[in-house]
Structure 1
């Protein structure tokens, strides 16, 4: 995530800010120019004028979900038929907001989802709505468990991503993380994993790259339900850490791809933050004579994955050590072996090849 600044007073802004803490200007995100812009009321009363000089002179208005404090993204005021922003237009089902606590849970989900869409837009990846692709277009359901005791499962099916509402409850999510023996479980992680299944369909299956993908991740034609049952009954195979980024990635090539895709999004997003702060990390931790590695390139723009990995690995060593100094768990508790890096490089190639193809 890049850093933003107020166009009125220069105050540093962060992605979820809705008002400048210094000058009080209302803020809105303009996705077309990747700007969190200070706003002034349009003189005609038609909406808001963005102070970012890159924005259009035409007024903007907020996404309809801004009425619930669930979105601060803008849409052109000249398009009254466009009620929702580019991120919220993919929502099919939101929680029942008359249920106490559901508005807070939904807002947490939307924070994670908007960070996902920030990355997808920065990567210039194609996204098809259900209107564009009735069979496999992207859409989201945010669902609560049923009153009859039925349990909603987070998952993906033919472009429909379901997020269980209980995942927005920090205590429940942490309990599930412990029960599953996971190092990492966050709302943003769920979004990044499930969108990986969508892009497997779009970029691998429909992009005529099945054989290339199978050579790296394995044969996806193996029975998925049998593979899941085997995984939950027997656990991961011996020595899995040399081949897979997580235990769950071992159960089926689809899940290996989705887990690897999620980690690719973790990496590029975090590296952009480090780049925005101008961070420099010693290439060999503990060696005072080692060269210093600067996060010199915006990861969204680099051609080869080697450039990304050369910045990522030293950064994880440093931040893991910082976390331990505070008595916290590792920031990135994963080992990226040469095999896993090869998988990440394949994801990078897929993304680069798909840029701008809508």
Structure 2
């Protein structure tokens, strides 16, 4: 993610801002251009961007629920934005707390789509592909003995349990499962990794290359999952995997690695926006040094990205500990994991180069 600037008064803005606190203009995000722009209302119900092009837009229809600040071109027949058009099931707003939960979910999902669009990845909606990317945001049944909603992916359909938007409940689940990290954004990034395995690896003719890095995806998934929960994980899993769950099956290894690729490039883009650099004064080796001036969305080699990320993550973890918090990035990037991350980087940019014309 990056910082934005109000085109009217120059105030720095964050991605989720809906109003400039300095000049008072309403704000909207233009996904096609990657801009957060100030707007002026027009007599015909549209909004004129205060950027030089002066283009006119309408807000996504979900803006009326205060869950979206994305814009749709005024001439477009669409009523939903590039992110919201993928929703199949949204929360019942008649239930207490549902609107707040939906807003949290949409904030995470919109950050996901910011990255997918920046990376030039296909995001087919319903009716645009045989296997579109669609979302169900589901609440658990009201009876305590009913089946719980599980977050997961199934042929392009990603289900997010509404309970995950409750910070206390999500923390309870994280602790119960022994996870170092669990967020809504993390769920989105992991589950969409399964979608892009189908799209870029299986359907993209990259099975052989992927298997050389992640192993045999033809292993029975149900049996692998059963073994994972019954037998646990190998003691030396950190030598080759980004997380314990990644050891379950090659599909989960890919999805976990995909999520971490998005974690890393998003954090580094923001670090670059703030001009962050790291130079550990007590370090005589020069290894804990980095300048976050790497183009994480460019097609170059992955090595500069990881070489920049490691010192910055070390510094951010250290700052978090000063506040009595757990590490911001509580993961180890072993050489095999870096190789897997590099494969994801190559896969994404290989697809971009093959489809850019």
Partners of 2:338 and 2:17 lie apart in 1 by 35
Partners of 1:146 and 1:231 lie apart in 2 by 28
Determine the structure 2 residue equivalent to 1:142. 137
Are the counterparts in 2 of residues 196 and 259 from structure 1 also a CA contact under 8 Å?
yes
SS state at 2:270 partner: helix
Structure 1 unaligned regions, length at least 5: none
Are the counterparts in 1 of residues 290 and 312 from structure 2 also a CA contact under 8 Å?
no
Moved over 4 A (4+): none
Determine the structure 2 residue equivalent to 1:106. 102
Q: 1:57 to 1:24 in 2, by over 3 A?
A: closer
- 1:91-130 alignment to 2 at 5 Å? 91-130=87-126
Partners of 2:129 and 2:34 lie apart in 1 by 26
Shift of 1:302: 4.6
SS state at 2:17 partner: coil
> Can you list the C-alpha shifts for 1:128-181, whole angstroms capped at 9, x where unaligned?
2221223x1110000001234221110000000000000000000000000000
> Can you list the C-alpha shifts for 1:278-303, whole angstroms capped at 9, x where unaligned?
11112x66226838421112211251
Are the counterparts in 2 of residues 126 and 355 from structure 1 also a CA contact under 8 Å?
no
Determine the structure 2 residue equivalent to 1:36. 36
C-alpha RMSD of the superposition: 1.4
Determine the structure 2 residue equivalent to 1:151. 148
> Can you list the C-alpha shifts for 1:50-97, whole angstroms capped at 9, x where unaligned?
1122xx444101000000001000001112x20100000100000111
Structure 2 unaligned regions, length at least 5: none
Task: Give the paired residue count.
Answer: 352
Q: 1:349 to 1:99 in 2, by over 3 A?
A: same
* Aligned partner of 2:210 among 193, 210, 213: 213
SS state at 1:227 partner: helix
Partners of 1:285 and 1:350 lie apart in 2 by 37
Partners of 2:325 and 2:211 lie apart in 1 by 38
Determine the structure 1 residue equivalent to 2:245. 248
- TM-score if structure 1 supplies the norm length? 0.95
Partners of 1:347 and 1:260 lie apart in 2 by 8
Structure 2 residue 12 is the aligned partner of structure 1 residue 16: no
Structure 2 residue 172 is the aligned partner of structure 1 residue 175: yes
Determine the structure 1 residue equivalent to 2:85. 89
- 1:321-336 alignment to 2 at 5 Å? 321-336=318-333
> Can you list the C-alpha shifts for 1:242-284, whole angstroms capped at 9, x where unaligned?
00000000000000000000000000000000011111112x6
Shift of 1:202: 0.3
Shift of 1:46: 3.5
- TM-score if structure 2 supplies the norm length? 0.96
